Amino acid sequence: MSISINIINNSENAIPAYATEGSAGMDIRANITEPITLKSLERYLVPTGIFMEIPTGYEVQVRPRSGLAVKNGLTCLNSPGTIDSDYRGEVRVLLVNLSNEEQVINCGERVAQLVVAKVENARLSVVQELNDTQRGTGGFGHTGTH
C-alpha cells in the first residue's frame, strides 16, 4: 500500500527516495551552502529544503541512517523524530556527533531517512485502578540482564 504526499523541494538535491525496492525509509539530504563541521558531542539542525503535506492519519518519522552512524558516529537526536500531518515547515534533521573526532557534513549528503507511518489517536479514560498483569509494575531491567 502507498499513500501520496505532496512535497516542495527548495534544494538542488533530489527529493527523498527509497534506495532499494525493500527499503522502509527514504534517504533525505542536507541542503547547506557550505560544509558543516561537528565537533565531538556537538549537534546541529541540518536544513533539507524539503516541505511536506502529510495526509491526516499519518506521520513521517525522521530516523538515523545506519551507515552514517557506524562509519562516522553521526546519529539523530530525538529519534525517531515525528513530522506531524499538520506541520508545513521545512524538514530539518537534528544530528549529533557521537564520535571522538570532528565530522564534516556536505551539501547533498544523505543525513537521515524518512519512514511514513500510520497513526491512531487515543481516547484516554480516567479510572481509579488498572487491570493487573503478570508483569505488573516491573519496569526497566525487571526481566534480568540476559
Contact (CB, 8 A) for 109 and 29: yes
Average pLDDT, rounded, for the chain:
95
Rounded CA separation 135/146 (Å): 17
Whole-number pLDDT of residue 140: 77
pLDDT for 35-88, tens place per residue? Answer: 999 999 999 999 999 999 999 999 999 999 999 999 999 999 999 999 999 999
DSSP classification of residue 71:
H
- Give phi and psi for 12, each to the nearest 5: -90, -5
Total-model pTM? 0.88
Q: Which domains does the chain have, with CATH numbers?
A: 6-118 (2.70.40.10)
